[in-house]
Amino acid sequence: MFRSVSTVYDCAIPDRRLAGLTAAASAVRAGQLVVLPTDTVYGLGCDAFSATAVQALLSAKGRGRDMPVPVLVGSWSTVDGLVLGVPAQARALIEAFWPGGLSLVLPHAPSLTWDLGDTRGTVMLRMPLHPVALELLREVGPMAVSSANRSGLPPATTIEQAREQLADRVGVFLDGGPAGEMASTIVDLTGDDPVVLRQGAVTAAAIGEVLGHPLHVAS
């Protein structure tokens, strides 16, 4: 899904922010890729329910299906329609840390017609703490979003870095200013006990405090 021309919208300017969100929503609905700011790093996103768009996202990053794409949501309630069930531990973490830098891995609802890669029946979900991202997500619904970089290169923390790596494959770039330097923390809730798969913006100690016990951190 290559594009010869890309447009950057400065979301600090109200008119450009509105134009950018409109353009990004149209692009997502058309199965195209967009770059959006989040509270962690910049994200490369598309319609989570378009298998073609998700494959284009993986191709843009130079990444295989063995590294499935996470999903960003615009509200707590959206999660209920995406997963097999929301256990009490997940609900507690959502209430404590969403929107924010915590990603949760849960069994996805088997009825969903999506293809995010080789997920083995799971999905990684997060609600970002960024007004531009949330506005777009609430307009278009759940989006498959990965860090805005080519595989093997550092995640983009500025729109310039994202555009340098992805401009030939993305038509709409939403510039939200410098992003955070740290990726989200990932907690796997698919087993009997929660496991921290990646340490990031939310500490394992803070998560353990909410759950009432220390967490195992994967090596």
**CATH code of 67's domain:** 3.90.870.10
174-195 pLDDT, tens digit per residue, is 999 999 878 899 999 999 899 9
Predicted confidence band at 206 (pLDDT cuts at 50, 70, 90)? very high
DSSP label of 154? P
Indicate if the pLDDT at residue 3 is higher than 80: no
pTM for this structure?
0.94
Q: How many domains does one find in the chain?
A: 1
Closest residue by Cα to residue 109 from 169, 165, 49: 49
Predicted confidence band at 136 (pLDDT cuts at 50, 70, 90)? very high
Domain that residue 140 falls in? 7-181
Give the chain's end-to-end CA distance (angstroms, integer).
37
42 is a domain residue: yes
Confidence at residue 181, expressed as pLDDT on a 0 to 100 scale: 75
Confidence at residue 119, expressed as pLDDT on a 0 to 100 scale: 82
Contact of 207 with 187, CB cutoff 8 Å: yes
> CA 73 to CA 108: how far, in whole Å?
14
203 is a domain residue: no
208 is a domain residue: no
> CA 27 to CA 82: how far, in whole Å?
23
Cα–Cα distances (Å) from 152 to 14, 61, 121, 155, in that order, read 35, 9, 26, 9
